[in-house]
Amino acid sequence: MINFDFASLRLIGLTPAIANQLHALAANFSEDATLQVARITEVHRDSLVLHNGCSSVQARALPRLLHELAADELSMAVGDWGLLSGTAVSGYHFIACMPASTHLARRNNEGRLQALASNIDTALLVMGLDNDFNLRRLERYLALVHAAGVAPVVLLTKADMHPHAAARLAEVEQRLSASVPVFAVNGLSSSTVELLSPWMSAGQSLILLGSSGAGKSTLTNTLASSQQETDAVRAGDNRGHHTTTARSLHLCPGGACIIDTPGLRSLQLNLDEEALSASFADIDALAAECQFRDCSHQSEPGCAVRSAVDEDRLKNYQKLLRETRRNQQTPIDKIAARSKWKVLIRSMKERDRLKHG
């Protein structure tokens, strides 16, 4: 059985539930006298940075562990808990990884899963009130965190510099579900810390998600009293630079910890239709009142959704639904779909040829 200091580990997100899982995991390595609990704070190509509640150490993951995770299509992420073996003299090795209670992941351009972070309680979805303002992208982020079982909080940054911040705030509140907290904030102000205090008690783990230049690193500096590098947006189009280049975990004075992330150039979701419906609960509830059970909410008579939901929100839902169904297709399904479209295209060309002689 492993002994560890709960008070110090709580500062990096330890909870009683996680502690119980780590005790069970450590039972398999009871003969290792150097064993200690640690949480991943940075993931690099060939090494990890972990925090043991007192200090950060650099370690390598055992090849056996990497193979086990790969077999389950998993990979280690910032926020993962596990067991560290070794000493500063002999070197440290990450020998076991606890199954994550929540796990945020997206699909990359090749369709493979890419881990973002694990064991997160709250996702701070950051969107600037400048040219970064994009409600469709925000809804995509909401779908991501809802599917992972993570609580979202929307932060509209640069409120101190935007002349119509209140109107933009009202626009977002009207579009999203009332259950999602939305705040317009100045990322440099200490009042933002007070505003977010309900989500930043000891043992809480948060993540910042948003595009480059939205103000994530600035918020990290304010919330965690850290010195993350920040940069101004481009003067021509207010587009952001990739100031943060890797996900990293930071400790907050109140006992919470926060993960800063690089801006995502694209966010291809990894979720099923049920998870998507949970993110668009208003559309899902109204769909039950449609005249037809399989109503697509496009041109069918008796549709209860079209007149009650923001038109752009509905279009975004339909786009994400198509994307979700496409991602769930098996290779055989994709071949069949391509064959179907080829037949339809040939039929249309033949009809057009006969029509025009």
Tell me 29's DSSP state. Answer: G
- Distance in angstroms (rounded) separating the CA atoms of residues 49 and 92: 10
Dihedral sign (CA 14, 17, 21, 23): positive
pLDDT digit string (tens) for the chain, length 357 residues: 677 889 999 989 999 999 999 999 999 887 888 899 999 999 998 899 999 999 999 999 999 999 998 888 888 999 999 999 999 999 999 999 999 999 998 887 766 778 899 999 999 999 999 888 999 999 999 999 998 999 999 999 999 988 899 999 999 999 998 889 999 999 899 899 999 999 999 999 999 999 888 889 899 999 987 655 544 444 444 444 444 446 788 999 888 999 988 877 667 787 888 888 888 989 999 999 999 988 999 989 999 999 899 999 999 999 999 888 887 766 676 666 677 767 778 777 778 777 776
- Distance in angstroms (rounded) separating the CA atoms of residues 112 and 117: 16
Report yes or no on 153 lying in a domain.
Answer: yes
Report yes or no on 194 lying in a domain.
Answer: yes
End residue of a domain, out of 97, 127, 148: 97
Q: Are strands 36-43 and 81-87 parallel, antiparallel or unpaired?
A: antiparallel
If one counts the domains in the chain, the total is 3
Report yes or no on 268 lying in a domain.
Answer: no
Q: Rounded to 5 degrees, what are φ and ψ at 81?
A: -105, 150
Tokens of 44: 């690099």
- Distance in angstroms (rounded) separating the CA atoms of residues 64 and 145: 30
Tokens of 101: 């209670």
Report yes or no on 267 lying in a domain.
Answer: no
- Distance in angstroms (rounded) separating the CA atoms of residues 150 and 152: 6
End residue of a domain, out of 43, 76, 97: 97
Q: Residue 327: which CATH number?
A: 1.10.40
Residue 168 Cα distances to 127, 133, 195, 208, angstroms:
11, 9, 19, 21
Residue 131 Cα distances to 212, 236, 237, angstroms:
11, 11, 7
Report yes or no on 309 lying in a domain.
Answer: yes
Domain that holds residue 286: 273-346
Q: Residue 194: which CATH number?
A: 3.40.50.300
- Distance in angstroms (rounded) separating the CA atoms of residues 139 and 184: 17
Q: What is the largest CA-CA distance in the chain?
A: 86
With a threshold of 0.95, does the pTM exceed it?
A: no
